[in-house]
Structure 1
Amino acid sequence: MIKKFLTLLVVLVTYQFCIAQISLPPSGDNQKSIVTQYIGSIAHVTVTYHSVDVTSPQGKSRKGKIWGKLVPWGMMPNNFGTAKEIPWRAGSNENTTIEFSHDMTVQGQPIKAGKYGFHIIPKENGPWTLIFSNNASSWGSFFYDQKEDALRVETTPVESAYHEWLDYEFTERLPASATLALKWENLSIPMKIELPNEKQLYVATLKDELRSSLGFSWTNVVAAANYCLQNDIDLEQGLKWADNAIKFGATNFTTLSTKAQLLSKLGKTSEADKLMDQALNHPSATAFQIHAYARSLIAAGKKDKAFEVFKFNFEKNNKAWPTHFGMARGYSALGQFDKAIEHAKLSLQQAPDQANKDYVAGLIKKLKKKE
């Protein structure tokens, strides 16, 4: 008897093991989909879901019968699982999940890095409720428990172009944010996701990366310093990186000018001016680098200083391209349009290719209008 029981047990375990290993088509032909969107180059959001279509598995159209019918308004009765009422699983079959690689915000509310089960409470009138549950492994919403909610936010659906298949799309992508939208039939349910500490995250990542072999390249180190400079973030750290780049033996216009501009932003004007003069007069300084620095001064509202640098570049590089163009920029910033046009016309003759010729020609037209 015991032998028969053990034999039966082995058969049952073997059967269950085999069933767990085989691959079968998804229920209702609702294909599994995964979409990932990076916010910047470090943080990312991943949505995993099963995509259901408007047409039923039997081939019958359900147009006009999705919202409020197939997907009921409000919480729906549950005859299976542990919850009496459940939200919509925001997809089909398994749990729809949304994973955040870093701490972010959804609709302005903070959410920790991690994977969450995603559910929605649709409403016939008013905003819909989006639910992020700490339970990301259950099947659909059948075992939903409000006590496991990590975050609830609200959003208002908007009309959308027709979508036969339920899809998640990132409809807006910016350096520190993205808009994720569930689209199905004629509705879009959007949510704004933001990376609130984007710049600090980059600095922290750069610190880690520069502790590896990447930190032995002065170009990497000065690039990190320049990131701090351009984004007004952790300027003291940027200054340390600029110093390190120079200590590596890379004394050139790039390293010197980066350090000088960091010193300037830190209020160390005298030291900054002295170092920038050294950078401008360094043998490695090219006409294009000096021109770019002068352009940055115009952008910063330092028109007189910018003109000085444009003029210095013009004289140092013997009127070579793009120094006439720089003089045109400098004079136009000071409102001296006649002199600006004079240099712009000479610049047009020097322009090395058609794209630059077209650009200079466009500038001349603007200068004639005193724009």
Structure 2
Amino acid sequence: MKKVFLFMCAGLISLGASAQIEAPQPSPLAKIEQKVGLTDVTLEYSRPAVRGREIFGSLVPFGKVWRTGANANTKITFSDDVEIGGKKLAKGTYAIYTIPNKDSWEVVFYKDANNSGVPQEWDEAKVALKATAKVESMPFSMESFGIFVNEIKNDGAVLDFVWSNTAASLPFTVPTDAKTMASIEKVMNGPGANDFFAAASFYQESGKDLKKAHEWIKKATAMQEDAFWMWRKRSLIEAELGMKKEAISSAQKSLAMAEKAKNADYVKMNKDSLKEWGAM
């Protein structure tokens, strides 16, 4: 009985140690995903509350670097290069730090987004961009801190930092025009070598119309003559079509290119095929 009692106590202690209480976080996590033109913008940050406190100039001092939220770093991710304050910011993920002042904020995009709060050792070399945000007083108070992507247009939007009765706004632009024009030109110019190669590969590997696959792979190799992997695919399609002479010629071209590129896998595959076809 004593052993049973001790065993039950041990089990209760174990359960107590592993149990976790779920409760609301004082600064809940937020994630925003917004498409601006053709660019994906993602924000991840925690949202502290006012709770009757004086915020800017007190809890968040003027003139000092602020973590811009709570808990882990506030992060922003751009899927394309963007422009902020007339300066280019490369695509990627950044921590956002700010230096609030009464009339303006300095917004800092920091390359290391894995800190918790402001880095203990600030590294100016990790500052990707600094820009000035315009500050306005609001006629009402926002209880929870928020960062929003507003005023969305095809070529840009505005990052709004809002808390208490203060809003700081930072416009940014995205490369919608350049991306759209590139897409239009690509479509209007017709399929490229990779498109023809992909279509031919699918037809050959799926047992579809080999003659159509051969038509496409010839267009691919004509457009990209030094692509040994395309010539390899062409040789296989020709072999399946019974075009042995053409298959050998294509394999020999692929082999020479693969040797020049020092691609051992394609060198071996081509040699194996040429031996099988009696050309080596």
Shorter-chain-normalised TM-score: which range? 0.5 to 0.7
Which TM-score applies when normalising by structure 1?
A: 0.43
CA distance in 2, matches of 1:132, 1:88: 12
Instruction: Tell me the equivalent position of 1:66.
Output: 55
- 1:1-371 map, 5 Å: 29-40=26-37, 42-55=38-51, 61-62=52-53, 65-75=54-64, 87-124=65-102, 126-143=103-120, 144-160=122-138, 161-195=140-174, 197-205=175-183, 207=186
d(CA) in 2 for partners of 1:157 and 1:36?
24
The one-letter code sitting in structure 2 at the alignment partner of 1:105 is E
Question: How far has the Cα of 1:155 moved from its partner?
Answer: 1.7
With over 3 angstroms needed to count, the CA separation of the structure-2 counterparts of 1:178 and 1:142, relative to structure 1, is same
Secondary structure of the 1:164 match is strand
Deviation of 1:205 (Å): 4.0
- Give, in whole Å, the separation in 2 of the partners of 1:174 and 1:23: 44
Higher relative contact order (CA 8 A, sep 6+): 2
- Counterpart-to-counterpart distance in 2, 1:26 and 1:135: 28
SS at match of 1:156: strand
Distance 2:29 2:156 in 1: 26
What are the superposed Cα offsets for residues 114-153 of structure 1, whole Å, 9 maximum, x if unpaired? 00010001123x4321100011111111334223100011
- Partners of 2:75 and 2:141 lie apart in 1 by 24
> In the alignment, what sits opposite 2:214?
none
Specify the code of the residue in structure 1 equivalent to 2:44.
T
Structure 1 Cα separation of the partners of residues 34 and 21 of structure 2: 28
1:156–1:199 distance in 2 versus 1, CA, 3 Å: closer
Runs (5+) with no aligned partner, structure 2: 1-16, 200-280
Cα distance 1:23–1:133, how it changes in 2: closer, same or farther (>3 A)? farther
Please give the alpha-carbon distance, in whole angstroms, between the structure 2 residues aligned to 1:99 and 1:37: 10
- In structure 1, what is the Cα distance between the partners aligned to 2:110 and 2:149? 21
Amino acid at match of 1:137: N
Q: Give the % identical residues.
A: 25
- Structure 1 residue runs of 5 or longer lacking an equivalent are 1-17, 56-60, 76-86, 217-371
Amino acid corresponding to residue 103 of structure 1 in structure 2: D
How far, CA to CA, are the matches of 1:175 and 1:23 in structure 2?
A: 45
- In the alignment, what sits opposite 2:215? none
Distance (Å, rounded) in 1 between the aligned partners of 2:106 and 2:154? 27
**Secondary structure of the corresponding residue to residue 199 of structure 1:** helix
More strand by share: 2
Q: How many angstroms does 1:104 deviate by?
A: 0.5
Aligned-pair CA distance for 1:156: 2.1
1:25-84 Cα distance to aligned partner (Å, 9 max, x none): 576x211101122112x21211110001111xxxxx21xx10111101112xxxxxxxxx
Instruction: Report deviation, 1:210.
Output: 5.8
Q: CA RMSD in A?
A: 3.0
Alpha-carbon distance in 2 for matches of 1:23, 1:117: 30
* Per-residue CA distance 1:333-356 (angstroms, 9 max, x = gap): xxxxxxxxxxxxxxxxxxxxxxxx
**DSSP 3-state at the match of 1:110:** strand
In 1: Cα distance, 2:157 partner to 2:109 partner: 17
In the superposition, relative to structure 1, how do residues 182 and 23 fare at CA in structure 2: closer, same or farther (>3 Å)? farther
- Equivalents in 2 of 1:132, 1:107: separation in Å? 12
Q: Which has the higher helix share?
A: 1
Q: Give the superposition deviation at 1:107.
A: 2.5
Separation in 2, partners of 1:23, 1:130: 37
Preserved contact between residue 104 and residue 168 of structure 2 (Cα < 8 Å): no
